[in-house]
Structure 1
């Protein structure tokens, strides 16, 4: 009986070791594909690793980054959340996940303009989702900074998003005031003849100001996203340089080992 139990235990250990090797292999293959910007292939490898081991932190975090690179915002957010259920020890890595979630919400915000249904006259319809994505981006950045207060890039992004939210709140207040003023002005205008040669309609001025504010918010988003993309490019370049240095070192070691003394 003891012999049978020992054999079963040995088989279980062997299977576990084999599965771990497959997970490591899939993650390494996925990392190579990711560094080569073959994000579809990287996604497949990370999913393969997670199928073998759903608790693989590296596979989960890297899969979320792969979704992000493919502009699969909802999938990326879901996987970052999954990663945060796995990682509860390394605060720096947890902070990075929250920061990436903030970037993802910001990306969703930047793409809302094209996705919003259009009203008559070609004006985009305003909805609650825009403000929600900004707020969720802000909350994610705050969570990241609680875990890693030294992350200055996240701190900068948070400050910009907070200003955008405040600007939007001020804009909404001004819009309500303008609507009340417009109603009073319309009543006055009904009792007066309109002069076609009069100066520019004040309503048009207000509309232009709102458009300028929207453009400023959009420009702020683009500045953050450009900074994020530049940081990603710099990281990839550092990885390439490190690998090149590693290959050079290996070649030099091989030459010393094979040298005919």
Structure 2
């Protein structure tokens, strides 16, 4: 992404009315600090300039640049929007829209960035950086949409797999329960057969004992008591 953050100095400052001398001085101080890389202090000067003259489009624009340098992108976006409304000259408005586009592009909001670049080109058709970035955003937006679609399909496939996995898990659980029930029934049947065999064996043993007692009784002689002879 071609990103060029420029502060507006010189001509635009000179065009400010004499009554705004206070905010012009603050803008110049901010510009000096900005060039030195002291973006926090430059930000402070630009904010003071805006407090002195809210319609100072240059202060809004340069404040946006200082904020963007500090990676305060959302705040920078607000200032660029305000600059696009208040700054004079289509080329400078184009630059404000361009910088808006760079912020949005950095946030991967490619559709909004494309709109900002289109506005930049409307203000200045010769803004080649805006044209280049517009084409890049168009390509990146297409890739982003394709990636979202692919992710959606992958999520659907994963959900289907999980659904099949859970279904198979339930089937295995049901089969296990059936097997356990079957085994339980078999155990009960086995116990019933064993009980029946035990009862039968006990009955047979008892019958054998009874027969044995009868045989023994039959073997013993019948002792009769003789009547006394009178």
Please, what TM-score do these two structures have when normalized by structure 1?
Answer: 0.52
Partner of 1:94: 93
Cα shift at 1:185: 6.3
Unaligned runs of 5+ in 2: 1-16, 169-230
Q: Relative to 1, partners in 2 of residues 1:175 and 1:41: Cα closer, same or farther, differing over 3 Å?
A: closer
State the aligned residue count. 151
Q: 2:121 aligns with which of 133, 145, 148?
A: 145
Partner of 2:20: 20
Partner of 2:130: 154
Q: Provide the alpha-carbon RMSD of the alignment.
A: 2.4
Partner of 2:209: none
1:66 aligns with 2:42: no
Q: 1:206-217, aligned counterparts within 5 Å?
A: none
Partner of 2:9: none
Q: Relative to 1, partners in 2 of residues 1:56 and 1:170: Cα closer, same or farther, differing over 3 Å?
A: same
Q: Relative to 1, partners in 2 of residues 1:31 and 1:171: Cα closer, same or farther, differing over 3 Å?
A: same
Q: 2:141 aligns with which of 165, 182, 185?
A: 165
Partner of 1:8: none
Q: Relative to 1, partners in 2 of residues 1:22 and 1:164: Cα closer, same or farther, differing over 3 Å?
A: same
Q: Give the Cα separation in 1 of the matches to 2:156 and 2:49.
A: 59
Cα shift at 1:179: 4.5
Q: Please list the CA deviations of residues 5-38 of structure 1 after superposition, one character each: whole Å capped at 9, or x if unmatched.
A: xxxxxxxxxxx95x52222211111111011111
Instruction: State the SS of the aligned residue for 2:107.
Output: helix
Q: Please list the CA deviations of residues 203-246 of structure 1 after superposition, one character each: whole Å capped at 9, or x if unmatched.
A: xxxxxxxxxxxxxxxxxxxxxxxxxxxxxxxxxxxxxxxxxxxx
Bigger radius of gyration among the two: 2
Cα shift at 1:181: 4.9
CA contact (8 A) 2:117 2:134 kept: yes
Q: Please list the CA deviations of residues 184-219 of structure 1 after superposition, one character each: whole Å capped at 9, or x if unmatched.
A: 66749x88xxxxxxxxxxxxxxxxxxxxxxxxxxxx
Cα shift at 1:177: 3.7
CA contact (8 A) 2:57 2:82 kept: no
Q: Give the Cα separation in 2 of the matches to 1:143 and 1:27.
A: 26
Q: Give the Cα separation in 1 of the matches to 2:133 and 2:142.
A: 14
Q: Relative to 1, partners in 2 of residues 1:37 and 1:174: Cα closer, same or farther, differing over 3 Å?
A: same
